């Protein structure tokens, strides 16, 4: 049994209520932080803990916080990114709907550390019911004096607001999120300036993922040094993984970073092996935008080392033979899955979600979807595969925000690792009928 | 002052200058093309990605290269920066990719487009694009929309540069012009077809790099290269009144603002931008309304000058460079007046 920090009480009935949460030791860490520690000491703990952003990029949280500008007389903001829209990722939803107070406690500690008196939770529109759960929890916390003016008599004020988005993937990009939060069209901003200098309403802002902020509670509870002992190398602590696909036990699992991928997929404690005893074909390890890897490369690195669930190990080999931990959206595909159809689904998604601001992504995502559609219809040519490769290379790295890369990487990886399958679709269109899990092609493209 | 090199050419500019502005000081081929950046409009640029350059050395202090191509219009210079534009084949290839993508949904209806001949997308595609398209699907289509009785919006041709949105935002009062929808379905809109009713709304036509926003009073009247541009002015209580008339004989077919070599509206003496009002643009279509100053200076590359100033067309450019003694890569001021027998009065 590996150690659980975030989800240790998720099975307790009624943990969403303040009463039960407090009975299980809730809000004691916050009290300790506010009453006995200074913001600087808290920041040091976060730095020592080695916590890295859990939203996908894995940027060290302590370092991000130390970049926050602190001009006199200008408010600072904490914004929690709960716009969890990456296909295959659903860990934040689980955390928020089960233990909303953990997020609130983490937000109070984080805001106190950053010197923010207002904090926002930007939650995606599809999670409307979760926003109700959060609002209820926030109301409870206000009533108990855990939020609002003079929290626990410490003189520290904090207001938390929940803002529901309208369901755009792009609003999970931090600057698009801020635009949307300000009431504007959710278009990513051109950086620099980064939000740490000019974020929400032009003020210094820290934007962090739900899980990152929730992780503040165990970090302060255990101390940064103790937290850093969990995990492996520079991947410290625990991580929530949303496991889905053709596995026996899909769901949200908390793992200690450094767990072997093979154990995660096949052990009874986690995914429980592949459904129906079939063979595994491929895994998308960190949400739809990270490169897909075939079985032999996800279980072992190109050098033959066992692959571990950590930022470094999954990234080993770059994009030639590696992938990314990303947001922890772990999608497992069995031997009957068509990689081409899967890629088409992903590409359709990115085409639909491109904001249309910069040319390569706006035009390229639609083009890639159309070519994949053509290949799936059995009308593709071998040239189309090369063209797809070329288009993705023209998008990658040329866009304002990472959506361009998110759309390009899956295409590149699928062609890199599964080219014969694409070629089979082109040279032998009849093979389409043999593949199960058939999606209806979108007639509108 | 900050020193940097662009394509190995050293240039010194004030702190806070962007790479593109620095490159414009050098001029010539070194200057990256800009489809969405407009120096007279705040927060413009960064969208089209045609101005991307490779930064080989970030600065003197931090000599690491910037891993991705940067939008030169929105990236500030740094001391000791080494920028590569046309001396990086990789960068030119990336730009060709952007151009190809910009043309994916463009209708290529130049033969019936009023903008043809002064279209930045034509120039861009000619200079940086490929001969043929690899896109074989149906293109995105929108119906043309009338924005008021003077402006036509052909969304099919739009490249989403956001310049007109910024004009509506920054120059006209009461903005009712923005973008709706997302991705390649995004379109410029006046929000529920509300007509722009504003004295300066016509400037969206001048900033549009393509034929998406055109002047309905000039629609299908003539190809631009059959009209002759002259600079003229009148006393106007709304704007500076300094315009460019596009004439055919005695007839004024079109009135626009005066534009510089980058296709941007010029500045007045006091440094403000010489935007013109709708009255000057749409209503003053008689030569007697104006005091004509003389023929406009048109870039020698332009099809407009190629047709009009016939003598120029026959002069080999290399010979011209030799005669003018201008260094390679510098925009050559042709002194059009001197070469065109019709314009002797200008001298």
Give contacts of A367 with chain B, Cβ < 8 Å.
101, 104, 135, 137
- List the single residue in A with minimal CA-CA distance to B50: A359
CATH number of residue A160's parent domain: 3.40.50.11540
**Among B182, B209, B210, the residue to mutate for chain A (most A Cβ within 10 A):** B182
For the record, the structure tokens of A280 come out as 């595994």
Distance from CA of A371 to the nearest CA of B (A): 9
A352 and A397 together in one domain: yes
* Whole-angstrom Cα Rg for chain A: 22
Q: Do A359 and B102 touch (CB under 8 A)?
A: yes
Distance from CA of A190 to the nearest CA of B (A): 7
pLDDT score recorded for residue B309: 44
A207 and A253 together in one domain: no
Whether A180 contacts chain B with CB within 8 A: no
Q: Where are the alpha helices (DSSP H) in chain B?
A: 19-26, 89-104, 120-128, 163-170, 203-207, 278, 303-308, 310-313, 317-324, 336-339
**Among A362, A381, A399, the residue to mutate for chain B (most B Cβ within 10 A):** A362
Owning domain of residue A254:
233-334
C-alpha pair distances (Å), B52 with each of A48, A364, B73, B93, B184: 39, 17, 8, 11, 21
| B192-221 average pLDDT score | 87
Q: Where are the alpha helices (DSSP H) in A182-277?
A: 210-214, 216-222, 224-229, 261-266
Determine if residue B49 is left, alpha or beta; phi over 0 gives left, psi from -120 to 50 gives alpha, anything else beta.
Answer: left
Q: Please check whether residue A298 lies inside any domain of the structure.
A: yes
A218 and A243 together in one domain: no
Distance CA A387, CA B100 (A): 12
Domain stop point among A229, A264, A290: A229
Residue B183 has its nearest CB partner, among A352, A360, A395, at A352
Domain stop point among A316, A334, A352: A334
Distance CA A39, CA A46 (A): 11
- Counting Cβ atoms within 10 Å, is residue B181 exposed (0-12), middle (13-18) or buried (19+)? exposed
- pLDDT over 60 (residue B338): no
Which residues, other chains included, contact A293 with Cβ-Cβ below 8 Å and sequence gap of 6+?
A: A282, A283, A284, A285, A321, A322, A323, A413, A417
Distance CA A352, CA A369 (A): 10
Whether A354 contacts chain B with CB within 8 A: yes
Global ipTM: 0.89
The domain limits of chain B are 2-99, 105-215, 224-346
A360 and A401 together in one domain: yes
Residue A120 phi, psi (nearest 5): -120, 145
Distance CA A6, CA A94 (A): 11
Q: Do A397 and B68 touch (CB under 8 A)?
A: yes
A101 and A24 together in one domain: yes
For the record, the structure tokens of B5 come out as 């090199």
Q: Please check whether residue A280 lies inside any domain of the structure.
A: yes
Q: Do A359 and B74 touch (CB under 8 A)?
A: no
pLDDT score recorded for residue B197: 72
With beta carbons less than 8 A apart as the criterion, state whether A291 and A392 touch.
no
Q: Do B183 and A362 touch (CB under 8 A)?
A: yes
pLDDT score recorded for residue B324: 52
Lowest mean pLDDT among A215-229, B104-118, B304-318: B304-318
- pLDDT over 60 (residue B321): no
With beta carbons less than 8 A apart as the criterion, state whether A281 and A337 touch.
yes
Whether A185 contacts chain B with CB within 8 A: yes
- pLDDT of A208-257, one tens digit each? 999 999 999 999 999 999 999 999 999 999 999 999 999 999 999 999 99
Residue A359 has its nearest CB partner, among B48, B137, B182, at B48
CB atoms within 10 A of CB A154: 12
Domain stop point among A211, A229, A247: A229
Residue B187 phi, psi (nearest 5): -145, 150
Q: Do A360 and B185 touch (CB under 8 A)?
A: no
CATH number of residue A416's parent domain: 1.20.1440.230
E strands along chain B, which residues?
A: 2-6, 9-13, 52-57, 70-71, 81-84, 145-147, 151-153, 178-180, 187-189, 213-215, 228-233, 242-248, 251-257, 291-295
Q: Please check whether residue A440 lies inside any domain of the structure.
A: no
B10-22 exposure pattern, b = at least 16 Cβ within 10 A, e = fewer: ebebeeebbbbbb
Distance from CA of B134 to the nearest CA of A (A): 8
Q: Chain-wide mean pLDDT for chain B? A: 86
A27 and A158 together in one domain: yes
Residue identified by tokens 């996800």 is A298
CA atoms within a 13 Å half-sphere pointing along the CA-CB vector of A214: 29
A135 and A274 together in one domain: no
| Tens of pLDDT, residue by residue, chain A (445 residues) | 578 999 999 999 999 999 999 999 999 999 999 999 999 999 999 999 999 999 988 999 999 999 999 999 999 999 999 999 999 999 999 999 999 999 999 999 999 999 999 999 999 999 999 999 999 999 999 999 999 999 999 999 999 999 999 989 999 999 999 999 999 999 999 988 999 999 999 999 999 999 999 999 999 999 999 999 999 999 999 999 999 999 999 999 999 999 999 999 999 999 999 999 999 999 999 999 999 999 999 999 999 999 999 999 999 999 999 999 999 999 999 998 989 999 999 999 999 999 999 999 999 999 999 999 999 888 899 999 999 999 999 999 999 999 999 999 999 999 999 999 999 989 987 766 555 444 444 444 3
Q: Where residue B345 falls among pLDDT bands split at 50, 70, 90? A: very low
CATH code matching the domain that covers B105-215, chosen among 3.30.460.10, 3.40.640.10, 3.30.70.20, 2.40.50.140: 3.30.70.20
How many domains are there within chain A?
3
Whether A400 contacts chain B with CB within 8 A: yes
Q: Please check whether residue A316 lies inside any domain of the structure.
A: yes
Distance CA A283, CA B186 (A): 34
CATH number of residue A282's parent domain: 3.10.20.600
pLDDT score recorded for residue B192: 56
Distance from CA of B100 to the nearest CA of A (A): 9
Q: Please check whether residue A4 lies inside any domain of the structure.
A: no
With beta carbons less than 8 A apart as the criterion, state whether A416 and A343 touch.
no
A139 and A288 together in one domain: no
Distance from CA of A218 to the nearest CA of B (A): 36
A244 and A120 together in one domain: no
Give contacts of B74 with chain A, Cβ < 8 Å.
190
Give contacts of A389 with chain B, Cβ < 8 Å.
none
Distance CA A75, CA A79 (A): 13
Name the nearest CA neighbour of A349 among B301, B51, B182.
B182
Distance from CA of A185 to the nearest CA of B (A): 9
CATH 3.10.20.740 for domain B2-99: yes
pLDDT score recorded for residue A444: 44
A192 and A67 together in one domain: yes
Strands A77-82 and A205-209: parallel
- List the single residue in A with minimal CA-CA distance to B97: A394
């Amino acid at each position: 049994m590996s150690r659980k920090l975030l989800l240790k009480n998720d099975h307790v009935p009624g943990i969403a209520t303040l009463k039960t949460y407090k009975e299980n030791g809730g809000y004691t860490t916050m009290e300790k932080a506010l009453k006995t520690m200074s913001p600087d000491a808290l920041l040091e703990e976060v730095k020592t803990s080695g916590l890295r952003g859990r939203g996908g990029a894995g940027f060290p949280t302590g370092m991000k916080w130390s970049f926050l500008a602190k001009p006199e007389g200008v408010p600072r903001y904490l914004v929690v990114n709960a716009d969890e829209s990456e296909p295959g990722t659903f860990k934040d939803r689980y955390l928020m709907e089960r233990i909303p107070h953990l997020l609130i406690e983490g937000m109070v500690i984080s805001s106190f550390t950053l010197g923010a008196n207002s904090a926002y939770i930007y939650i995606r529109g599809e999670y409307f019911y979760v926003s109700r759960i959060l609002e209820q929890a926030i109301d409870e916390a206000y009533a108990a004096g855990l939020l609002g003016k003079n929290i626990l008599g410490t003189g520290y004020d904090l207001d938390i607001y929940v803002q529901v988005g309208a369901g755009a993937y792009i609003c999970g990009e931090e600057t698009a999120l801020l635009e949307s939060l300000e009431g504007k069209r959710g278009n990513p901003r051109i950086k620099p300036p980064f939000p740490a200098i000019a974020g929400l309403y032009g003020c210094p802002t820290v934007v962090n993922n739900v899980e990152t902020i929730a992780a503040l509670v165990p970090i302060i509870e255990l101390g940064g040094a103790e937290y850093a002992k969990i995990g492996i190398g520079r991947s410290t602590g625990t991580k929530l993984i949303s496991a889905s696909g053709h596995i026996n036990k899909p769901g949200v699992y908390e793992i200690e970073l450094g767990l072997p991928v093979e154990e995660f997929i096949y052990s009874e404690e986690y995914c429980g092996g592949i459904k129906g005893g079939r063979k595994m074909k491929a895994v998308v390890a960190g949400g739809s935008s990270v490169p897909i890897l075939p079985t032999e490369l996800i279980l072992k690195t190109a050098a033959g080392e066992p692959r571990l669930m950590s930022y470094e190990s999954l990234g080993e080999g770059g994009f030639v033979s590696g992938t990314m931990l990303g947001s922890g959206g772990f999608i497992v595909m069995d031997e009957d899955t068509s990689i081409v159809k899967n890629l088409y689904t992903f590409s359709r998604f990115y085409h639909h979600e491109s904001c249309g601001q910069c040319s390569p992504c706006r035009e390229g995502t639609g083009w890639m979807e159309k070519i994949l559609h053509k290949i799936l219809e059995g009308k593709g040519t071998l040239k189309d595969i090369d063209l797809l490769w070329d288009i993705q290379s023209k998008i990658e790295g040329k866009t304002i925000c990472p959506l361009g890369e998110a759309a390009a990487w899956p295409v590149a990886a699928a062609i890199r690792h599964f080219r014969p399958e694409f070629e089979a679709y082109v040279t032998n269109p009849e093979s389409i009928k043999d593949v199960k899990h058939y999606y209806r092609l979108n007639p509108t493209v | 002052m900050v020193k940097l090199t662009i394509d190995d050419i050293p240039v010194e500019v004030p702190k806070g200058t962007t790479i593109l502005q620095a490159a414009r000081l050098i001029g010539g081929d070194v200057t990256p093309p800009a489809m969405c950046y407009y120096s007279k409009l705040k927060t413009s640029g960064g969208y089209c990605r045609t101005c991307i350059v490779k930064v080989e050395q970030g600065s003197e202090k931090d000599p690491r290269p910037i891993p991705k191509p940067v939008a030169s219009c929105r990236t500030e210079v740094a001391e000791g920066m080494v920028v590569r534009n046309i001396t990086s084949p990789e960068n030119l290839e990336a730009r060709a990719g952007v151009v190809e993508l910009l043309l994916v949904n463009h209708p290529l209806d130049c033969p019936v487009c009023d903008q043809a001949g002064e279209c930045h997308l034509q120039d861009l595609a000619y200079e940086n694009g490929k001969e043929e398209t690899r896109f074989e699907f149906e293109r995105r289509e929108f119906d043309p929309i009338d924005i008021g009785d003077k402006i036509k919006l052909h969304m099919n041709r739009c490249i989403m540069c956001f310049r007109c949105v910024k004009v509506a935002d920054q120059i006209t009062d009461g903005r009712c012009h923005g973008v709706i929808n997302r991705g390649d379905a995004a379109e410029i809109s006046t929000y529920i077809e509300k007509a722009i009713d504003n004295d300066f709304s016509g400037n969206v036509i001048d900033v549009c790099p393509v034929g998406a926003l055109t002047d309905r009073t000039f629609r299908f009247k003539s190809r631009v290269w059959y009209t002759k541009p002259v600079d003229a002015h009148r006393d106007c209580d709304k704007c500076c009144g300094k315009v460019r008339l596009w004439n055919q004989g005695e007839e004024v077919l079109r009135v626009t603002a005066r534009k510089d070599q980058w296709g941007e509206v010029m500045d007045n003496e006091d440094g403000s931008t010489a935007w013109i009002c709708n009255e000057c643009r749409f209503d003053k279509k008689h030569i007697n309304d104006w005091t004509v100053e003389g023929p406009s200076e048109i870039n020698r590359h332009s099809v407009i000058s190629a047709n009009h100033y016939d003598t120029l067309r026959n002069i080999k450019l290399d010979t011209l460079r030799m005669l003018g003694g201008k260094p390679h890569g510098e925009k050559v001021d042709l002194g059009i007046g001197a070469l065109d027998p019709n314009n002797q009065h200008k001298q």
